Amino acid sequence: MHRIANILSTLRIILSPVFLYLFFQEDFLWKAIGLGVFIVAAVTDYFDGYFARKYKTTSDFGAFLDPLADKFLTFSGFFVMPFIAPSQFPWWAIGLIIFRDIFITLFRVYTKRKEQPMVTRMTAKIKTTVQMVFLYIGLAVGLFKGVPFFLGDWIDLLLDTEILFYMMLFVTFVTVYTGIEYLVINRAVFKKIES
């Protein structure tokens, strides 16, 4: 049982490309299964942390693997967005989100290797929650877009507005802001590098 947290994180990495493959299928059923895979993968994020705390099996490898698995999943979700509606989910916004998350992840790895504790705030968790809620909404739009029943009509009406675009802007702003906040509150690390 002491390895279950890392197994779940690894499973999340494996399920990310499975989700991508299924969600890019034309058939509604395969897309729906793909969304189900995404949700299952997201749920493993809760349980790997739960088991790590319950069995006190936290490790440096687990601390590295868990956020890496999170990035695999969220990046795969954001990657499909422009294919759903490029005007609502522009590539430049997706690029900013991915760049921020990669940069902060590398920064976290660097500070850990230098044995410099990295300060975090609640806004980081808020960012993750905002991203995941947005991804669920965006993927649901992608699933029901063009379906030959009433939900398809609702999605078409939604896509005729700019609601999703402004939601995308909000998510991008929160993501970039928290990235800048990370650098500001950990600026002492840069001073130690210079010295």
Residue 193 lies in a domain: no
Residue 39 lies in a domain: yes
Residue 194 lies in a domain: no
8 A C-beta contact, residue 62 and residue 2:
no
Residue 41 lies in a domain: yes
Cα–Cα distance for residue pair 60/3, rounded to 1 Å: 13
Domain count, the chain: 1
Cα–Cα distance for residue pair 112/108, rounded to 1 Å: 6
Helix, strand and coil in the chain, % to nearest 5:
80, 0, 20
**Residue 94 belongs to domain with CATH number:** 1.20.120.1760
Residue located via tokens 């063009």: 146
Show the tokens assigned to 14. 């494996």
Residue 191 lies in a domain: no
What separation in angstroms does the CA of 195 have from each of 108, 115, 117, 176, 189?
A: 20, 15, 17, 28, 10
Q: What is the mean pLDDT of residues 152-179?
A: 95
Residue 195 lies in a domain: no
pLDDT greater than 80 at residue 176: yes
pLDDT greater than 90 at residue 77: yes
8 A C-beta contact, residue 12 and residue 70:
yes
Cα–Cα distance for residue pair 149/9, rounded to 1 Å: 37
Residue 55 lies in a domain: yes
pLDDT greater than 70 at residue 90: yes
For residue 21, give its domain range: 4-186
Q: Which of 52-61, 70-79, 80-89 has the lowest mean pLDDT?
A: 52-61
pLDDT greater than 90 at residue 37: yes
Q: What is the pLDDT of residue 2?
A: 54
- Name, in order, each residue with C-beta under 8 angstroms of 5's C-beta and a sequence gap of 6 or more: 48, 49, 51, 52, 55, 57, 62, 66
